Structures are given as structure tokens and as C-alpha cells.
Structure 1
Amino acid sequence: MIAGSLFHFTNDLQTLQIILESQRLRASYNIEDIRGFYPDEQFLAIPMVCFCDIPLKNVSDNHTEIYGGFGLGFKKVWGIKNGINPIMYRTDNSLIAPYIETLTEETTSIFHEIEKLNEMQESGYLPEAENIYFSLQKIKTSQRNLIGFIKKYEVSAAKKANYYLEREWRWVPSSTSNKFSPSNSKKTRDEINKKYHLDPDFLNFTVDDLRYIIVEKNSDIVKAIRLIGSFSISEVEKGRLIQKIIDIESINQDM
């Protein structure tokens, strides 16, 4: 079943408050497994905002246990308008990896040939070589940005989750600055976000773009209403936000 909303989850009500009050989502670095894409690299940190394309009744099926019990459901038309796109899942034996690795190797090889040619020129860069060099730089950047929409197909026994079932969508800023990473641990991810993400990209939304405000428990609804009441927005907008609140406990009762 295809959902009518794109859901974004977080761990606590305080973070949900920040997102709602600012009406924007902050892109943060996520570390992707790129083994097979590059000969000497294993992980790539890419700024992004992640969503899942699953029906509302299924959001509590392991998903909230992994990503948090607080979230927002956005209209899918808003996501498409803002360049949010479904990702591609790759298996271990997929041809996607060797295709990208070939592109990487060939691009690097041409870079080296241009450098050799220019070393032979007393006057520096040949105009033709310089144009090719900048074209290759664009290809390299586009390739690494494209990797932000590719994820390994995995089944996590520890978390009892099949990540393919999330039907993940992503927003990867066009101005993204990717970083090769030594590992994909949470510690490394936190360090990269702290070091490099001083000027993050934001994805803006309005009250009209929201379909649901999801809280974990029925008792959290009152807390959410109080938080919304403190926002510096009109009373009409506050009322419209409050009408969108729904809790996971109630969702589970109706399943």
C-alpha cells in the first residue's frame, strides 16, 4: 500500500518542538556504506533529511522503535515539489556498485592524464584541458551527490527490521558537502556533524504542508498542545496545528 504522506521521526518532544516552531527541517550528516563504489574508501558522510513512505497504521511496526516516537507527516505533494526523492536500494551482488566504481576509476584516470599533459606545457594549463578538468569536477560532484540516494539493502537481525520496508525518501541539498568517513559508527557521525556542519541546510515547510503531528503516548498530546500554545504564531495557526496531533497508542488501538 502506497502512503499519502511522508513521515519524519525524531526521539523526543523537544526536538519536535524546535522543528514545528521554526517550520524547517535541518539536514544532518548520515554515513552511507559505499564499499564497491570507491577502491580505497568504505563510508561517505552526506547531509540529508530522511522520510519514510509508509501508511500511518504501520508507523509503529518497529519504525518508531528505531527512529523515535515523535514525528511529522507531510503531504507527499510538498515533498515532490521540494525535490525529495525515493532512494534506490542495492544488494551485495548488484551491478550498481561496479558501474559507479568504473565511473570513479575512469574519471580519476582522465584527471591524471590531464595533469601529465599540463606538466609538459611550459605555459601551464591548455585551455582545452582546463575545460575538461572542470567538467570532470562536475561529474565527480554529481556522482557523490547521487550516492546520497543509494542505500544498501539490509535486514537488521538486532533491530528486527528490514530497511527496504521503510520505503525511504531523502532530501539531499544540492549544495551538499560530502566527506569520506573512517567508519559508520554513531560516534563518528556525531563528530562529523559537530566538526563540519556549522552552516547546515534547512528544508522549509508551512502549516498547510503538514498532515499529522505524531506523539508517542496519549498523555503527550496535552504536552504538545501546551508547546504549540507558546509558539509566536497566530491563534488560527495554533488551532490548525493542534488539530493535526495524533498519538501512536491510539493508532495501535485501531489496527
Structure 2
Amino acid sequence: MTTIVNYRAKEERDDFEVIQSKITANALFNFMREYSYLEKAILNMAICPRYYPEDISYLNLKYNSKDLTEWYIPMTCFCDIPLHQISYHAEGNSILLNDKGYGKFSIAFHKEFGIRKGIQPIHYLNTSSAQVEELTAALNILINKDSDYSEDSDILMNFIFEYIRMIKPYTGKMKRRDRDNNVIEIKKNFQDEHEWRYIPKLNPRELPLMLIEEEEIRAEEINKIYTDSILQTRDGVLKFDVEDIRYIFVDTLQNRNRLIQFIRGKRKGRRLSSQEKDILISKIMVYDELKEDW
């Protein structure tokens, strides 16, 4: 099932024009919960996607005669929420002890960079709509079909499987870890996240484009073997340059100083010139200070 989709490389386009938004941010923010993730991204000047679980119970799918309620998609998530509205996304809901948000550490990229790299705003679905009903019918046929496909049906199937990696219900459930690191489910209005996704260009001969089989999901949950393998693929990671970055967020002044020292002393990973290091440092902002003026 996970190797059906044909791999077709997508080239970056140089002939597009990005029109500046008047409502959403003109940056794509990738938030992180831990400082170490930020250092790792800057060390390699790249972000490595990971396989994330998606609750799909709203689609009412059957696979091998069993209810299919979850699949894992390799991705990196971004949002284009304006700065003055970003606190809920970063910190979560303080009333709900289990909603910790996505973290105060972030790299924000120019939206033009994201569009050039194929990062895509996702499609939020009303689960009561006719579109969801028809999508359910089409998917139940495709994921359980054993016969050979014609070239035309291959094209249609590729489109559908690309599409379903870019959808989410308007409201629904998601897995999170609570303050004791236990996996829990919380309810969310997903459209509030303004989510964009980077889906890596994986060749199915290297890694699955989605995890659906129980054995694959179990292996990923226990050992992260598929996520760890993305680094070994040819085009899996999202590479960036200094000029692609608009902001870097850290939570406190202490971690700002720590990150400055890390950048200045950077010897491993992707090499940067002294000028590039200075430019990178100039982009660092302290979340807790900015929040006072929002």
C-alpha cells in the first residue's frame, strides 16, 4: 500500500511571483519545544522532517477489513500566523494543563522561500461535507484494490495520495505529550493553526510515503526507524541558506546568548562565513521580550 505511489521529482520554480499577504504573516514559522532542535537545524542549515501521526477516523476508512483510524505522514509543519497572534500557537492553552503548544523556539522563513521549496498550505475539511463523503468512497476503493493500474489510473491515484497528505479536519483530535510525557489526545480547531506542510521528496524505494501497516507504525512509535532514515535519503531534508531566514526565536535572554556563542563557535555541519554568522545572529529575537509588546 505504501509503495504504490510513483515517485516524481518536483523542480523548484524560478518564474513565480509572490504577492505579499495583507492578513496572514509573510513568514512561515517552524516552532520547536526544545533549544537543542534549534541548534541542530542551524548546525546543518537544514530541517529534517519526521513521520507524524494523523487521526483519520473522520474518513471512515477500511483497510484489510479493519477500521483505519490513523496513518503517519513524513512532514515538517509551519504556520503563517501574524506575530501578535502567535502566543497561543507557541504556548498552548494555559487553562488546559495538557496543551503545551508547539514551543517558544522557532525559525521563521520568508514565505517566498517556502513557496519555492514546495511548502503547501493544507486543506481543512468540513467532516459533514459532500467532499469528505466522496473522498471516503474513493479512498476505500483505492487502498483495497489489488489489480494492476493503467497509466491513467496511476495518475489519478498519485493525485489523490498527494492530496490526502495535505488535508485535516476543521476540528478534531491530535496526539500530544502531557507534562509527564504521556501520550494523550486533545481536541483542537485545526484551522486556527494556519498550517503549511513540507512533504519530503522521498523515493518509495528508499522509504514509505505514508505509514499505514500496523507493523510500520509500531516500529516508528518505538524506535523512530523511519524518521531517522530520512537523513540518509537524497532529497528528504529541507535545506536553507542564511538569507532564507527572517527571524530566529529563542525563549529567554540566556538562550539568546547561548545561541550567539554556538553560532560564533560553529565549526561542524554546514560551514558559514564570518559575515553569514553575523547576519544569522542579527535575526535572533527573544520570545518572552517580544510578547510584552504584542
2:126 corresponding residue in structure 1: 91
- How large is the Cα RMSD of the aligned pairs? 2.9
Is 1:71 matched with 2:106?
yes
TM-score by length of 2: 0.71
CA contact (8 A) 1:28 1:49 kept: yes
Residue 62 of structure 1 and its aligned partner are, at CA, apart by: 4.2
CA contact (8 A) 2:50 2:227 kept: no
1:193 corresponding residue in structure 2: 224
TM-score by length of 1: 0.80
Going from structure 1 to structure 2, the CA distance change for 1:104 and 1:243 (only over 3 Å counts) comes to same
2:265 corresponding residue in structure 1: 230
- Cα distance in 2 for partners of 1:192, 1:144 equals 26
1:123 corresponding residue in structure 2: none
One of 80, 85, 94 as aligned partner of 2:115: 80
CA contact (8 A) 2:120 2:197 kept: yes
Going from structure 1 to structure 2, the CA distance change for 1:144 and 1:197 (only over 3 Å counts) comes to farther
Residue 156 of structure 1 and its aligned partner are, at CA, apart by: 7.0
Percent identity over paired residues: 26
Greater displacement, 59-68 / 208-217: 59-68
- Cα distance in 2 for partners of 1:239, 1:214 equals 16
- What are the equivalent positions in structure 2 for 1:119-198 lying under 5 Å apart? 132-133=149-150, 135-154=152-171, 162-175=189-202, 177-180=209-212, 190-191=221-222, 193-195=224-226, 197-198=228-229
After superposition, what is the alpha-carbon deviation per residue over 1:65-118, rounded to whole angstroms, capped at 9, x for unaligned? Answer: 411111101000000001001101113313332222222244468x55xx4xxx
- Cα distance in 2 for partners of 1:252, 1:189 equals 36
Q: Which runs of 5+ in 1 are unaligned?
A: 116-129
CA contact (8 A) 2:49 2:227 kept: no
Counterpart of 1:92 in 2: which secondary structure?
A: coil
Greater displacement, 197-206 / 78-87: 197-206
2:45 corresponding residue in structure 1: 23
After superposition, what is the alpha-carbon deviation per residue over 1:203-232, rounded to whole angstroms, capped at 9, x for unaligned? Answer: 111000001010011222111101111223
1:61 corresponding residue in structure 2: 88
- Cα distance in 1 for partners of 2:213, 2:290 equals 39
After superposition, what is the alpha-carbon deviation per residue over 1:23-71, rounded to whole angstroms, capped at 9, x for unaligned? Answer: 1110100111223263231111110010011112222224344111111
Structure with higher RCO (Cα < 8 A, 6+ apart):
1
Is 1:207 matched with 2:242?
yes
Structure having the larger proportion of residues in helix: 1
Count the aligned residue pairs.
Answer: 235
Residue 189 of structure 1 and its aligned partner are, at CA, apart by: 5.6
Counterpart of 2:101 in 1: which secondary structure?
A: helix
CA contact (8 A) 2:61 2:136 kept: yes
